[in-house]
Amino acid sequence: MTRNFSTQAVHAGEEKRKPYGALTTPIVQTSTYTFENTSEILDFMRSKAAGNAEVRDEYGRYSNPTLSAAERKIAALEGGERAVLFASGMCAITTALLTLLSGGDHLVLVSGVYRRTHEFAIDFLSRWGIETTLAPIDDPDALAAAIRPNTRMIFSETPTNPYLRVMDLARMVEIARQHDVVTMIDSTFATPINLRPLEHGLDLVIHSATKYLGGHNDLLAGAVIGFTEVMDKIEKARGVLGGISNPNDSYLLLRGLKTLDLRVRRQNENGMRVAQFLEQHPGVRRVHYPGLPSHPDHEVARRQMAGFGGVVSFEIEGDLEETGRFIDRLRLPYIGPTLGGVESIVEQPAVLFSLEPDEWRGAGLKDSLVRYALGVEDGEDLIADLDQALGNRVFS
């Protein structure tokens, strides 16, 4: 199979000749799978005990043919041996952490991870005697100093939300290998088109497939990608905990993945154009985008990423209320808390975080911060819309 992403996105993981001669992989809508006779059950059990990877499906909580095709495609795009698909990105994260960490273990969580990931580590893992230490994303010495004798994992995110900080994967892997620690990265914002962390030596990659992988804002799914031995453990835990994706969402994910390369390339283009426009606008105080030389992690991003993504965060010259009015003047994007789809969507992170100013400011969110997740619309139209919304402000 060719390694060109666009070809992999269309063909990887799916049989050339599908059931009933269908062009697309069918939705196998069943909760269980039957056997013709007892002999077939015994053959199935022997194959399963022998670790045969091609064992047929048994029960819907463990696997599904539609889901398996999506898993194979995601694994091919990330360059991993296995992918395991879940009902959501958070289900993927929590199951992986519960599988690989035990009471008495220590987790290093790099700053800037999704707040629900942070919440799970601090508020839930601690109940099982798993301690968590936060380490800055831009200080390798501090990251190394956070490692303890009982540290089992470093978990990071790149780029982060909403300031789009970029983890230096080479340094992360170097530190982890010195201490025999597992590395896991949430690469949702990057996508395998812009970054393939396994090629940089990471052990596990996480995606909220709800976002770019699905690409149409019509499904919930999450994925963990890695190498066979550890993925077998995570898949077994999924069967126990029950967080498997359903066949309908798996089908939608397969459909979305076929255009991933095309969509992300357009979103990369829109992201760079919009970021450059905003950086020159007098109504914008600061732009956070790793493709700009002004971003603190620009050199790291330029070295390890093929593109800089479709999310641009920026601070306007205004307060909380003025920022809300600016967002309301935008005509093209929807207002909401997601990203990665074909439609542009915008949010004011502080407002969606909490009604209490001390809470959003304590989380590092500024009153005037805007996160704009660009879709695949024409870049000139997006810029014209931003210009009219910013131009209507009365600057002091």
CATH of the domain at 269: 3.90.1150.10
Residues 15 and 117 reside in one and the same domain: yes
Q: Which residues of the chain have pLDDT under 50?
A: 1, 393-396
State the CB neighbour count (10 A cutoff) for residue 241: 15
Residues 194 and 332 reside in one and the same domain: no
User: Is 43 among the domain residues?
Assistant: no
CATH of the domain at 97: 3.40.640.10
User: Of 257, 283, 301, which marks where a domain is finished?
Assistant: 257
Residues 249 and 275 reside in one and the same domain: no
User: Is 37 among the domain residues?
Assistant: no
User: Is 46 among the domain residues?
Assistant: no
Number of structural domains (the chain) is 2
User: Is 51 among the domain residues?
Assistant: no
Residues 189 and 215 reside in one and the same domain: yes
Residues 253 and 271 reside in one and the same domain: no
Residues 329 and 234 reside in one and the same domain: no
Residues 78 and 180 reside in one and the same domain: yes
Catalytic sites, residue numbers: 61, 114, 186, 211
Sort 181 into a burial class: Cβ within 10 Å, 0-12 / 13-18 / 19+: buried
Residues 222 and 343 reside in one and the same domain: no
User: Is 132 among the domain residues?
Assistant: yes
User: Of 257, 291, 324, which marks where a domain is finished?
Assistant: 257
User: Of 230, 257, 284, which marks where a domain is finished?
Assistant: 257
Q: Give the pLDDT of residue 3.
A: 64
User: Is 378 among the domain residues?
Assistant: yes
Q: Which residues form the domain of 132?
A: 5-28+64-257
Residues 346 and 364 reside in one and the same domain: yes
Residues 247 and 321 reside in one and the same domain: no
Residues 193 and 250 reside in one and the same domain: yes
Helices 260-279 and 379-391: angle between axes, nearest 10 degrees? 30
User: Is 53 among the domain residues?
Assistant: no
Q: Give the pLDDT of residue 394.
A: 39
Residues 218 and 353 reside in one and the same domain: no
Q: Which residues contact 21 (CB under 8 A, 6 or more apart)?
A: none
User: Is 34 among the domain residues?
Assistant: no
Taking only the tens place, the pLDDT of each residue in 152-170 is 999 999 999 999 999 999 9
